[in-house]
Every structure is written in C-alpha cells, then in structure tokens.
Chain A
C-alpha cells in the first residue's frame, strides 16, 4: 500500500514537471540560426502548398508564433539568411559553421537549432556535421508546408527541434535533422519525397530516435566520425574548392565532365562510368569519386578502382560525397588519404 502511494506520488510529480517546474529553474540556452526555407515562407492563402513566395517569416515571428518554447529554453536568434535552400552556397555554409562554433564554445550555450529549406537541408546538415567542433546538439529543422498553410508541420517540428537540442541524450550524436517526430543523423538522411511530411529518411539505416510526447527516445548512436571528432576546420576559409557531380545515364558521354574541368572543378563525383573524359580530368589533377544514383547501399572498395586512382564514396549519395570531397581537398590531394576520409566520415 505504501509502495503504491509512493508510486502515485512519483508519477504525479513527474507528470507535473514539464509545465510547472521548468519555469522556476534556469532554462537551457539555445540559439536559433535561421536561413529561411518553407518553414519561413508565406503563401497567398492557406491552401497554397506550392509556389508560396508571398513574404518571409522573421526569426521573431517564428518565436511569437510558438510561445510554448518559453517553457523549454531561453532562445536567442541569429539570421544568417532568409532564402530558399537552393540559394545556400559556400559563403552561408562557412558563416553558419563559424557562428555555430562560436556560440557552442560559450559555456552557457546548451545547443543550436538551424532552420533551413528542405531541398538541400541534408547537404548543410552534413557540412555542419563535419565542421562544427562540439558535442553540444545542433539540430536542423524545416517544414514541408509553409507558415501560412492549413495543417502546417513547421511549428511542431520547431518545438521538437528545441526539445531535442536541450535533451542531454542528444550530446555527441552529431548534427541531427528533426522533422515529423523523427530524429535523423545528418550523414545518412536524405529527402525522399517532394511534398509529404515524412520526407526525411535514412534509407540504409533508419532514424536514431524519436521526439515523442512523453520523452526524447534514442535507439542508435552514429559511429562514423563527426563534429567533435572531425579533422576538418573551416575557421580560416573564405571559399571552398569547386566540386561538381556528373550524372550517369545511357549514352552519357564525357561532355559534362570536360565542361566541369574547364570551369575549374578540382573534384568530380560520378554516379558511375565516365569513360575517357575521366582519365583526361585525372591527368589535370582532378580527383574522381565513384558514388551511385540508387540512393541506398555502399559503393564498395576494390583493388581495380583503387588502381584507377578513383575514390569510392561508401554509401554517401553524390551530393554528400561532393561536400566531403570539397572539405577533403582543403587538406590533401592524395587519393589514398581521401579514401581514408570516405571510410571514416
């Protein structure tokens, strides 16, 4: 009987905690870095789910829209950009990495949340996964439906992103992607659907955990190197080497590869094949990475590929292999060294 009433008391206090107790104690400090995207876009009317370009949402509007965040964290903001993710370039990536590193280096900082358009969110997430040097959580968030839409997903995604950013279990997991209640790893996750809310999927490996109503639950920890175990440092960089992706299809010839080399590419990611144009590019010192267009499974290492001087991309899709190759080229031109990096990151 005593045991039962004790249990009731424990359960009751646990239930009251999220609303009651947080307000009195010092709240964790989170900085919201905003870059734009659908989560910060307005449409002409609330049924408009595409071509919504009728205004941008400011960081302050995001916070005002979601007063429940005040119970979770003390949130400061920094606007890095307010654009669709197609317009994110090296300049914004380098700024983001530097600013997040500066914020997380402060002892009072608990974590960072980054808003981003979903189209290239996974690229920025992977870039930050390789260039932020901290165990503190960095959580990328976006939305599939604009700020003005019926049943928009943005507010719950943002609320959950802040929950994940302040959860102690999120430390050391690398950069995370938070949409649709699922916590995904930056390296392994890709956008798989043009409009549905369950778009971010790690096809080979699945999510790391979930942001459910009762708690943040993790099941997996990533093993490839990231964040605090990364060797890449972009503090002193103002630009990144040019790397392009050449898509492979029946009758694809070397025209694109030749053009990329002419345009100054230092590296080219292939989805297979390539022919004579590859050898010509290699003769000019261009590094070649073999990726694949299937979206799942590894490109395996082989003596034959290594002998041809090419690098295999493990299970990175071409657009992420491009990011790793760009960073690799800031440190070395040696294919063996770069292959090691593809095996470790």
Chain B
C-alpha cells in the first residue's frame, strides 16, 4: 500500500509543531531526496526544542559530549532505511540536536557540547590529522578541572582503532567513553539514543575512572584495547573476542566486574605527547599463495613497520617470509598477528630466529597503531616486544 502517504502525513503533523527556522530546514531536507528521485519523503524525529539550558547544576558531574560524527550523527530516509544513510542529501545531526532529542541526559550531567567532526566531504575517511587534533583536545579537556568525563561519538567501522589510539596517547584517569550506533539517528528502533544516554551515564560515573578509554554500546562496557566490531549491522556488534566486557549499563546502575591490566592512559609511556605524524606501518594479509610483492611495495612506499596478519598462529606464506627478510634488511620492523582474531600470537623460538615480534592478541589494525607509536621511540626488537607485552 501507500507508505508514501503515511510518511508524508506524519511529517506534516510534526512540522506543524516546529518553529519557523526548523520548518524551513525540514522542508529543505525533504526536498533533497525528492529531487534525487528517492521514493519516499523522510520523517525526521525532531521535537520542539526544550527550554534553554539551565544554569550548570553544581551537584551534577560535567561531561563533554564530543562529536566525531558517525552513524549516530547521521540521518536517512525513510526511517526503514538503516543501510544507506547520510551523504550530501541529509544534513548531519549536530551535537545540539542530540541534546534537543534526548533532554534526559541533562538529568545525569551538565553537558558541554563539542564538535570535532571532519568536514562532511571527507567524513568517512578521517586521517591522522583528525586523530592528532582530537587527541590534543582530549588531553586538554583531561587537564581541565571542571570536566569529569568525556563522551566521544564515532563511526563504528574504525571506532575501535580510534579508541585504542586515544587509550595510548591521552594522559588521564577521567572516563573517556566512545559510543556510536548501528542505525542512523533517524532509523526505526534506532540504538543511538539509548547508547548515547548510557555513554553519558558511564562517563558521569566515578567508578569509570582509571579504567582506560572505554567503549559503551548496547549496554556493554568494553575496554578500548580488546573491543572489536564483529557484525556489520546487528546492534550487538562490539565485543572482545578473547576477553569479554568489564561491565554493564543496566537500568538500575552502571556496574563494573573487571578492570583491564594492560597499560593505558595515565599509565602509558606514549600519553600526553602530541604526535603530529606517525611512521608508516602497513598490514599484510596472509592466505594460500599470498605473494611477497605487496610487502615489497609497502617498503618501497616508505613503510617502517609491517604487521603480518598471518594464518593460524600468525604465519606468513613462504613468499611473504622472503619479502619480510628483504624488508628487515632495510630496517623494517615486522610484527605478527593472527587472522583467527581469537588467541595470542606467541613468542616461539622460530619466530625469534625470524626476528618477528609477536603481536599478542591485538587485531592487526590495532597492532599497527601500537607499532606506529613504538617506532617513534625505538627500532630495537626487544624493546618493541616489551611494548607489545605490556600494552
């Protein structure tokens, strides 16, 4: 039947409650997809803005809500579209929109908004420049005595990498909580609002201090080091493959059962530094007959480190092994991880002989980040191994 009509009716009903400038925006938003030939108009769940922010409540903790964008900051249409949203036709969700749509978060913290999104034209391809800027800002906020905790929104695809990077370079015991959503802010049964509300609860909780950068989605609290995205679209996507969650955001309370023992944040030797650029490190995937020339190309393009995502317990193919030897002869440091994802790559006599550093149970994209930071300090294999043992 005619979903177009019901969506349109719904939109008209909402629009009548909106002040004029918002109405104009909604109409403009609607025009984009219509002109582009999209079948249905969109419904944007916007509400009349709540009253102006009350004066800071002294009893509440102060939490910075920082946007690095992501699905949680995206709109799409119609609301059943949860795979193909965002882009130039749909304005992003501004930080103020979150507070307008989710006024309840003011009941748990004094919210300070901060926009650290990359420009829209390269929103899904952030570069180290963006991460360095955000790391600098997080270090500043961490030093500000008025701030109790920080929530950072991020696209889910590379969120675990960004969170791990911040886990290593931000010097603080204050909670930094990464959050995102699997469905756009406008999606039916969108997980964004619940996740955002819960992330603020975690950031506002004194128990969250000293546990490193955290990740909170779908009511699970995971440490940045061990959490990975495991499902493309399900709302239960972030999990630790080898080691699990450390706590939960339940209806009654934020509860922690574990703390991570690997070094992080205030205990990190990399924390507090401003890394304007990092040495080039690339990832080489292993599969049957995987050739060595990709590794040669990485070295030719300036790689100072190679992370091999090996088969089984972390093994490269024989062609890759020959290329690794050529790379090592040029001073390139090689770390082994496993494409099994679960399980540690161990320190073995053969691996020592091959001068390959075991990557513990880090996924390759995180081993890459740690190797980049390690290479800013040392090229010594024993020292790099110590770093992989400790972080």
Query: Is A70 among interface residues, defined by CB-CB distance under 8 A?
Result: no
In contact, B240 and A214 (Cβ under 8 angstroms): no
Kindly specify which of B45-53, B184-192, B256-264 makes contact with the partner chain: B256-264
In contact, B352 and A205 (Cβ under 8 angstroms): no
Query: Is A244 among interface residues, defined by CB-CB distance under 8 A?
Result: no
In contact, A223 and B257 (Cβ under 8 angstroms): yes
Q: Which residue of B has the minimal Cβ distance to A10?
A: B382
Q: Which of A11, A208, A209, A222 contacts B352 (CB 8 A)?
A: A11
Residues on B with C-beta less than 8 A from A202 are 244
Query: Is B57 among interface residues, defined by CB-CB distance under 8 A?
Result: no
Question: Which residues of A in the span 174-225 have a Cβ within 8 Å of any Cβ on B?
Answer: 188, 202, 204-210, 212-215, 217-224
Asked if A298 meets B246 with Cβ closer than 8 Å, knowing A206-B240, A217-B344, A224-B257, the reply is no
- Which of A209, A219, A302 counts the most B-chain CB atoms under 10 A from its CB? A219
Query: Is A301 among interface residues, defined by CB-CB distance under 8 A?
Result: yes
Query: Is B251 among interface residues, defined by CB-CB distance under 8 A?
Result: yes
Residues on B with C-beta less than 8 A from A206 are 240, 242-245
Residues on A with C-beta less than 8 A from B360 are 217
In contact, A212 and B346 (Cβ under 8 angstroms): yes
In contact, A300 and B344 (Cβ under 8 angstroms): no
Q: Which residue of A has the minimal Cβ distance to B349?
A: A15
Q: Which residue of A has the minimal Cβ distance to B358?
A: A214
Query: Is A3 among interface residues, defined by CB-CB distance under 8 A?
Result: yes
Q: Which of B257, B259, B358 contacts A188 (CB 8 A)?
A: B257
Asked if A214 meets B347 with Cβ closer than 8 Å, knowing A11-B352, A219-B226, A300-B251, the reply is yes
Residues on B with C-beta less than 8 A from A223 are 256-259
Bound Cα distance from A298 to B219, whole angstroms: 12
Bound Cα distance from A206 to B258, whole angstroms: 10
Residues on A with C-beta less than 8 A from B382 are 7, 10-11
Query: Is B129 among interface residues, defined by CB-CB distance under 8 A?
Result: no
Shortest distance from the beta carbon of A282 to any chain B beta carbon, whole Å: 22
Query: Is B144 among interface residues, defined by CB-CB distance under 8 A?
Result: no
Residues on B with C-beta less than 8 A from A3 are 380
Asked if A213 meets B346 with Cβ closer than 8 Å, knowing A7-B382, A222-B258, the reply is yes
Question: Which residues of A in the span 4-52 have a Cβ within 8 Å of any Cβ on B?
Answer: 7, 10-11, 15
Interface string of A243-262 (1 = CB under 8 A from B): 00000000000000000000
Residues on A with C-beta less than 8 A from B121 are none
Query: Is B381 among interface residues, defined by CB-CB distance under 8 A?
Result: yes
Query: Is B255 among interface residues, defined by CB-CB distance under 8 A?
Result: yes
Query: Is B97 among interface residues, defined by CB-CB distance under 8 A?
Result: no
Q: Which of A7, A210, A224, A300 contacts B250 (CB 8 A)?
A: A300
Chain B binding surface SS class:
loop
Query: Is B248 among interface residues, defined by CB-CB distance under 8 A?
Result: yes
Bound Cα distance from A202 to B246, whole angstroms: 12
Query: Is B348 among interface residues, defined by CB-CB distance under 8 A?
Result: yes
Shortest distance from the beta carbon of B384 to any chain A beta carbon, whole Å: 11
Residues on B with C-beta less than 8 A from A298 are 248, 250, 255
Query: Is B252 among interface residues, defined by CB-CB distance under 8 A?
Result: yes
In contact, A221 and B352 (Cβ under 8 angstroms): no
Interface size, B (range): 20 to 34
Residues on A with C-beta less than 8 A from B88 are none
Asked if A220 meets B258 with Cβ closer than 8 Å, knowing A3-B380, A205-B245, A298-B250, the reply is yes
Question: Which residues of B in the span 350-391 have a Cβ within 8 Å of any Cβ on A?
Answer: 352, 358, 360, 380-382
Shortest distance from the beta carbon of B137 to any chain A beta carbon, whole Å: 29
Residues on B with C-beta less than 8 A from A10 are 382
Query: Is B122 among interface residues, defined by CB-CB distance under 8 A?
Result: no
Q: Which residue of B has the minimal Cβ distance to A312?
A: B252
Asked if A302 meets B252 with Cβ closer than 8 Å, knowing A220-B243, A224-B257, the reply is yes
Question: Which residues of A in the span 231-246 have a Cβ within 8 Å of any Cβ on B?
Answer: none
Query: Is B234 among interface residues, defined by CB-CB distance under 8 A?
Result: no
Query: Is B20 among interface residues, defined by CB-CB distance under 8 A?
Result: no
Residues on B with C-beta less than 8 A from A220 are 243, 246, 258-261
Q: Which of B248, B257, B262 contacts A219 (CB 8 A)?
A: B262
Residues on A with C-beta less than 8 A from B255 are 298, 314
Q: Which of A214, A300, A314 contacts B348 (CB 8 A)?
A: A214
Bound Cα distance from A15 to B252, whole angstroms: 51
In contact, A221 and B258 (Cβ under 8 angstroms): yes
Question: Which residues of B in the span 146-161 have a Cβ within 8 Å of any Cβ on A?
Answer: none
Residues on A with C-beta less than 8 A from B344 are 210, 212, 217
In contact, A214 and B346 (Cβ under 8 angstroms): yes
Shortest distance from the beta carbon of A241 to any chain B beta carbon, whole Å: 27
Query: Is B253 among interface residues, defined by CB-CB distance under 8 A?
Result: yes
Bound Cα distance from A301 to B226, whole angstroms: 29
Bound Cα distance from A215 to B347, whole angstroms: 8
Residues on A with C-beta less than 8 A from B243 are 206-209, 219-220
- Which of B243, B253, B360 counts the most A-chain CB atoms under 10 A from its CB? B243
In contact, B258 and A15 (Cβ under 8 angstroms): no
Residues on B with C-beta less than 8 A from A15 are 349, 352
Bound Cα distance from A209 to B346, whole angstroms: 14
Residues on B with C-beta less than 8 A from A314 are 255
Bound Cα distance from A81 to B24, whole angstroms: 80
In contact, B261 and A221 (Cβ under 8 angstroms): yes
Q: Which residue of A has the minimal Cβ distance to B248?
A: A298
Question: Which residues of A in the span 288-316 have a Cβ within 8 Å of any Cβ on B?
Answer: 298, 300-302, 314-315
Bound Cα distance from A314 to B262, whole angstroms: 27
Q: Which residue of B has the minimal Cβ distance to A187?
A: B257
Bound Cα distance from A335 to B256, whole angstroms: 23
In contact, A301 and B240 (Cβ under 8 angstroms): no
Residues on B with C-beta less than 8 A from A315 are 257
In contact, B242 and A219 (Cβ under 8 angstroms): yes
Bound Cα distance from A212 to B243, whole angstroms: 15
In contact, B244 and A204 (Cβ under 8 angstroms): yes
Shortest distance from the beta carbon of B245 to any chain A beta carbon, whole Å: 6
Q: List 14 A-B contacts (CB under 8 A).
A: A11-B352, A15-B349, A204-B244, A208-B258, A212-B346, A214-B348, A215-B347, A219-B226, A219-B242, A221-B259, A221-B261, A298-B248, A298-B255, A300-B251
A residues within 8 Å of B by Cβ? Answer: 3, 7, 10-11, 15, 188, 202, 204-210, 212-215, 217-224, 298, 300-302, 314-315
B residues within 8 Å of A by Cβ? Answer: 226, 240, 242-246, 248, 250-253, 255-262, 344, 346-349, 352, 358, 360, 380-382
Query: Sorted from nearest, which 10 A-B pairs have the closest CB atoms?
Result: A206-B244, A214-B347, A300-B252, A220-B258, A214-B346, A219-B243, A301-B252, A206-B243, A205-B244, A11-B352
Other A-B pairs, 14, CB within 8 Å; known A205-B246, A218-B261: A7-B381, A7-B382, A10-B382, A204-B248, A205-B245, A210-B344, A213-B348, A214-B346, A219-B261, A220-B246, A221-B258, A223-B258, A224-B257, A300-B252
